Amino acid sequence: MSQTYDYQQILNTIEESLRPYCNRGDIADYIPELAKIDSDQFAMSLCFNDGREYSVGDFRTPFSIQSISKVFVLTIAMQLVGEELWGRVDREPSGNAFNSLVQLETEMGIPRNPFINAGALISTDVIIQETNNAYDEILDLVRRISLNQNIKFNEKVANSEYSEGDRNAALAYFMKSFGNINSTVDELLRVYFAHCSIEMNTLDLARSFLFLANGGIVPYTGDVIIPAGSAKRINSIMMTCGLYNNVGDFAYSVGLPAKSGVGGGIAAVLPGEFSLAVWSPGLNENGNSLRGIKGMEIFTSLTNQSIF
């Protein structure tokens, strides 16, 4: 099925179709460094398990992946502690804001899922506690799966987030009061904001999600990242929890497991086939890329390729 389409032409069509949406949406200006980004940018990259790659737009421009990094830290946490992780974080959609304290109090310091901020703090805490250097552990994984040894943290973005990180500090202290955080809150926040600041372009990002489209194995190298069963579980959590409070609408309109970030990126996979990454900084009211969601919807509509 995947060989019957001119994918480059499809991406070109998507880019052209989205021109009326230029400058729509809001930049995540509550993070000072992200407030400086030009919202009139768009990129999309498509990578297949068999090595074919297609891109359009500003696909060589790096951007801060923000909450997309939660997929990577979840992957590492699952590698390190396996099923033990699920005693500390649940796997259900939250229905609340990604940085909400309300649900966390009701549920005794157990985050609803690993893709809200509190849940990602748990994954980050696992990495700090179980490895000698959490920063190196995270960068090593991202470089392996993206095939780009130059991937790095953006210290300006990380420091910018740290300076405005009171809500995340509150989440961390609250969970620590329930015994669900073992690191110091300061170290936890510094590692957390570091991995959120990782810079990639859409081609890097699409490549980095291919292991989830290929049963836990990087298809270009044969590098085994996680067992196939773990890849299936991460994909299922992306499907139900990956786009904040847009997750139901995204499943309806796009139909792919995906994770978004307030930097304007979205990465999605069709297991057994491909990964797809899009970037456009203008966000909708739920903190997801407005043009990114529309672009992915057009893609799955034109190709009839989704999990449904």
Q: Which of 142, 244, 247, 275 is catalytic?
A: 244
List the catalytic residue out of 56, 185, 191, 262.
262
Q: What is the DSSP letter of 152?
A: B
Q: What's the distance, CA 60 to chain centroid?
A: 18
Structure tokens at 285: 């009211």
Check 45, 55, 64, 67 and give the catalytic one.
67
Of 201, 179, 194, 60, which Cα lies nearest the Cα of 124? 194
Q: Is 259 considered catalytic here?
A: no
Give yes or no: 30 in active site.
no
* CB-based contact 32:64 (threshold 8 Å): no
Structure tokens at 210: 């291919």
Does 192 participate in catalysis according to the annotation? yes
70 catalytically annotated: yes
Backbone angles phi, psi at 55, to 5 degrees: -145, 160
Cβ–Cβ < 8 Å for 293, 14: no
Asked whether 238 and 246 are in contact (CB, 8 A), the reply is no
- Torsion angle, alpha carbons of 83, 86, 91, 94, to 10: -160
Strands (E) across the chain are located at 43-48, 53-57, 63-64, 199-200, 217-218, 223-224, 258-260, 265-270, 274-279
Among residues 70, 176, 259, 294, which one is catalytic? Answer: 70
Residue 283 has what DSSP assignment?
B
Q: How far apart are CA 50 and CA 42, in angstroms?
A: 25
Q: Three-class SS of residue 2?
A: helix
Active site positions, annotated: 67, 70, 192, 244, 262
